[in-house]
Amino acid sequence: MELAYQLSFKMKMLETIAGSPVDLWFGYTQQSFWQAYNRDESSPFRETNYQPEIMAIAPIGKWLGGVDFRYAGLGFVHQSNGQTATLSRSWNRVYGELGAEYGKLAVTARIWKRLDNSRSDNDNLDITDFMGHGDLRLVYRDGGTEYSLLARRNLHTDHGALQLGWATPLRSNLKGYVQFFSGYGQSLIDYNYSQMSLGAGFLVGF
């Protein structure tokens, strides 16, 4: 039993770089897991993950078989938990991304390459065994209601994760949200621990 919250934002840093259609974006996500009900341990924050990233995005605008290929991108992302010694978890990745839409369905696919897997002092050298080398995101929008799926898989180790979400409007910028997660990597500290969780809460968008 714990409370979780996530703060995410994305902003455009440069537009039409050197006259090209490529825009440069900066994104940041922070996710915390708070054991608010654990009075015996003074209600600690069990884990906080920090994830800044830089993305170069170019529009595609091509239709193929009813699919609207919207954009392609390249990015660099760092993720860590800010801990030291044996509790430290971090990794750096470069990734390629493709975004497309088919009617009410939006699809985002990424494949990544880890950059820091040769460091001898790294406490999670095997993280890609559990987090895989890419992910697939599906979002189906029906009016204001959204159904989402996030899937990761390492085909060599048969480890991965599945996250399902359902969000429905309550007010203009507020949605009720239900999330189910099963697999590895819900948080960095648990990247190699398989778990299943069910949560309910709110989404606030601006």
For residues 75 and 112, give the distance between their C-alpha atoms in angstroms, rounded to a whole number.
9
DSSP 92-139: EEEEEEEEEEETTEEEEEEEEEES-TT-TT-S-TTHHHHH-SEEEEEE
Q: In which domain, by residue range, is 65 found?
A: 3-204
Given 80, 88, 148, 182, the catalytic residue: 80
pTM, rounded to two decimals: 0.91
123-136 per-position pLDDT tens digit = 789 999 999 999 99
The proportion of the chain whose per-residue pLDDT surpasses 70, expressed as a percent, equals: 98
Which CATH number goes with the domain that contains 113? 2.40.230.10
133 tagged catalytic: no
For residues 158 and 96, give the distance between their C-alpha atoms in angstroms, rounded to a whole number.
22
176-198 per-position pLDDT tens digit = 999 999 999 999 999 999 999 99
96-148 per-position pLDDT tens digit = 999 999 999 999 999 999 997 766 567 789 999 999 999 999 999 998 899 99
For residues 92 and 76, give the distance between their C-alpha atoms in angstroms, rounded to a whole number.
7
Closest CA to 139 of 163, 116, 119, 117: 163
Cβ-based burial of 97 (10 A; exposed 0-12, middle 13-18, buried ≥19): buried
80 tagged catalytic: yes
Number of domains composing the chain = 1
Given 42, 43, 78, 120, the catalytic residue: 78
Q: Of 76-80, 92-96, 169-173, which gets the smallest average pLDDT?
A: 169-173
CB 64 within 8 A of CB 71: no
Phi-psi sector, 175: left (phi>0), alpha (psi -120 to 50), beta: beta
